[in-house]
Homo-oligomer: A and B are copies of this chain.
């Protein structure tokens, strides 16, 4: 058995059975091994940022890593942006990066590059396999590293000769470390803060955004009056009717500062200190008041759910507390406007759907108006590397073939990863893509003013996407995804309803 075959078998033994790929010559033995070994699903992406973004969306929905198959340093580099987003979402990922044969590197041929240097900059775990005998064990170690809480990026570099040489050995799965428990003194301190009667806010992220964590947090809120919030970007959250309606911390600094005004205890549950996305001259970086006490209840790799449940019990919360009954929002008509759009979406959203969101300026007010939507999962761009929704939705649809996926993608951002549409068409994935076509990097108009600068001809030139206008319907069709254009909410409602009623990929260009 050659090294490549031992790697495929070892990945399968460790539970990795899906591989998003854009291979090259150095990965040919891995590709050939896929024909010898049953059970590994391979999905082609036409650009590596699609490949890694798919792996991110897949992992968020499956709670386990996919493999990616990437070609040398430049191939890996093309995928880094969505590796970055995945890392910020605690999405486990096993990158297999083919490289030159060990003895060939010395000739510095065109694709030779500092693969390890690139990998280290964005991975939690990096290893270069040194022999075909080691490949299987290295693969198992990579999966173990990826599955180590809260979910990590593991990158295994595979020189071509370690793949093609004989002597491969299949490795068994390695144990996955458990989440660590929160120390009792932390729990007691937080309980005391929550009992103090002073205004407290729990900021929930990561593990705390699923059913059990939200339920426990709701119990705490019920009994203490503490406020619940999620960060501006969340990796994966279950929400909709019947689930605690938790709003985000606003992106805009002034609005965020208002949310925190008067808060005396900030309790971080898998979340970071609430800082603004960017720094702005003369504004604070941290959104919570300087005199508030920040408690780290649980780091992302800790057992936040157990901590929340302990607290709820300790604070005497009933096992079951009422969740506010928010009505399903009604349809709105007229021109696009973020809240109106959110209401319309919330009205029509199919039961048990998955939303992948990278709506930028068009997507900032989606949460509150959709509290009453049908239950759904929400995946969001977490690392600010734009163009995330297209591939994330694609990977989520591979992970959950029986659920409708709704992709909310800003147009400027979507141009980074439009190749995802081709993979959706090829795999006949059940994704309804909504492109917010405002034909401008609108966020930057606001940011220019936020940082104290003035708009002018240069900024107009660099933010404008209307010369020429991008025809998303033709673009989508050219990649095999049927599309329609709408320019108001009633038109959107009609097309979205019809698209959700069918199966297979569809794209709606919403002209704003």
Interface positions of A (Cβ within 8 A of B): 21, 23-26, 28-29, 31-32, 34-35, 42, 44, 46-47, 49, 72-75, 77-78, 80-81, 84-85, 88, 100-101, 103-104, 107-111, 113-114, 117-118, 120-122, 160-161, 164, 233, 272-273, 275-279, 281, 285-286, 382-385, 412, 415-416, 419, 422, 425-426, 443-444, 447-448, 450-454, 456-459, 461-462, 464-465, 467-475, 477-480
List the B residue with the shortest CB-CB distance to A285: B104
Residues of B within 8 A of A459 (CB): 28, 31-32, 34-35
Q: Which 3 A-B pairs have the closest CB atoms?
A: A468-B480, A35-B456, A32-B453
Shortest Cβ distance from residue A122 to the other chain B in the assembled complex, whole angstroms: 7
Shortest Cβ distance from residue A438 to the other chain B in the assembled complex, whole angstroms: 14
Shortest Cβ distance from residue A166 to the other chain B in the assembled complex, whole angstroms: 11
Residues of B within 8 A of A31 (CB): 444, 448, 453, 458-459, 462
Question: A471, B462: Cβ atoms under 8 Å?
Answer: no
12 A-B pairs with C-beta separation under 8 A: A23-B444, A23-B462, A25-B451, A28-B448, A31-B448, A49-B78, A78-B416, A104-B279, A107-B285, A164-B452, A426-B468, A468-B479
Q: Kindly state the separation between the CA atoms of A470 and B477 in the bound complex, as whole angstroms.
A: 9
Question: B44, A462: Cβ atoms under 8 Å?
Answer: yes
Residues of B within 8 A of A422 (CB): 415, 468, 470
Question: A114, B110: Cβ atoms under 8 Å?
Answer: no
Q: Given A426-B467, A459-B32, decide whether A77 and B72 contact each other with a Cβ distance below 8 A.
A: no
11 new A-B contacts, CB < 8 A, other than A32-B454, A44-B461, are A25-B444, A29-B453, A32-B448, A34-B458, A75-B81, A78-B416, A100-B278, A101-B278, A422-B470, A426-B468, A469-B480
Residues of B within 8 A of A161 (CB): 279, 281
Q: Kindly state the separation between the CA atoms of A278 and B164 in the bound complex, as whole angstroms.
A: 13
Q: Given A103-B285, A444-B23, decide whether A451 and B29 contact each other with a Cβ distance below 8 A.
A: yes
List the B residue with the shortest CB-CB distance to A381: B110
List the B residue with the shortest CB-CB distance to A24: B444
Residues of B within 8 A of A458 (CB): 31-32, 34-35, 42
List the B residue with the shortest CB-CB distance to A467: B426
Residues of B within 8 A of A273 (CB): 107
For A80, give its contact among B80, B454, B477 (CB under 8 Å). B80
Residues of B within 8 A of A101 (CB): 278-279, 285
For A277, give its contact among B109, B164, B276 (CB under 8 Å). B109
For A425, give its contact among B49, B77, B468 (CB under 8 Å). B468
Residues of B within 8 A of A425 (CB): 468
Copies in the complex: 2
Shortest Cβ distance from residue A352 to the other chain B in the assembled complex, whole angstroms: 28
Q: Given A28-B453, A109-B278, decide whether A472 and B462 contact each other with a Cβ distance below 8 A.
A: no
Q: Kindly state the separation between the CA atoms of A122 and B32 in the bound complex, as whole angstroms.
A: 31
Residues of B within 8 A of A286 (CB): 107
Question: A471, B461: Cβ atoms under 8 Å?
Answer: no
Q: Kindly state the separation between the CA atoms of A319 and B51 in the bound complex, as whole angstroms.
A: 56
Q: Kindly state the separation between the CA atoms of A426 and B439 in the bound complex, as whole angstroms.
A: 13
Q: Kindly state the separation between the CA atoms of A72 and B121 in the bound complex, as whole angstroms.
A: 13
Q: Kindly state the separation between the CA atoms of A104 and B279 in the bound complex, as whole angstroms.
A: 6
Question: A477, B471: Cβ atoms under 8 Å?
Answer: yes
Shortest Cβ distance from residue A416 to the other chain B in the assembled complex, whole angstroms: 5
Question: B415, A47: Cβ atoms under 8 Å?
Answer: yes
Q: Kindly state the separation between the CA atoms of A373 and B89 in the bound complex, as whole angstroms.
A: 54
Q: Kindly state the separation between the CA atoms of A444 and B100 in the bound complex, as whole angstroms.
A: 15
Residues of B within 8 A of A81 (CB): 74-75, 77-78
Question: B77, A84: Cβ atoms under 8 Å?
Answer: yes
Q: Kindly state the separation between the CA atoms of A454 and B114 in the bound complex, as whole angstroms.
A: 30
Residues of B within 8 A of A469 (CB): 480
List the B residue with the shortest CB-CB distance to A417: B47
Shortest Cβ distance from residue A460 to the other chain B in the assembled complex, whole angstroms: 9
Q: Given A118-B118, A275-B104, decide whether A384 and B111 contact each other with a Cβ distance below 8 A.
A: yes
List the B residue with the shortest CB-CB distance to A273: B107
For A42, give its contact among B23, B25, B118, B461 (CB under 8 Å). B461
Residues of B within 8 A of A479 (CB): 468, 470-471, 475
Residues of B within 8 A of A450 (CB): 25
Q: Given A118-B118, A448-B32, A478-B472, decide whether A73 and B78 contact each other with a Cβ distance below 8 A.
A: no
Question: A46, B415: Cβ atoms under 8 Å?
Answer: yes
Interface centre among A109, A419, A425, A451 (most CB of B within 10 A): A109
Shortest Cβ distance from residue A280 to the other chain B in the assembled complex, whole angstroms: 9
Residues of B within 8 A of A382 (CB): 110
Shortest Cβ distance from residue A9 to the other chain B in the assembled complex, whole angstroms: 14
Shortest Cβ distance from residue A457 to the other chain B in the assembled complex, whole angstroms: 6
Q: Kindly state the separation between the CA atoms of A419 and B412 in the bound complex, as whole angstroms.
A: 11
Residues of B within 8 A of A480 (CB): 468-470
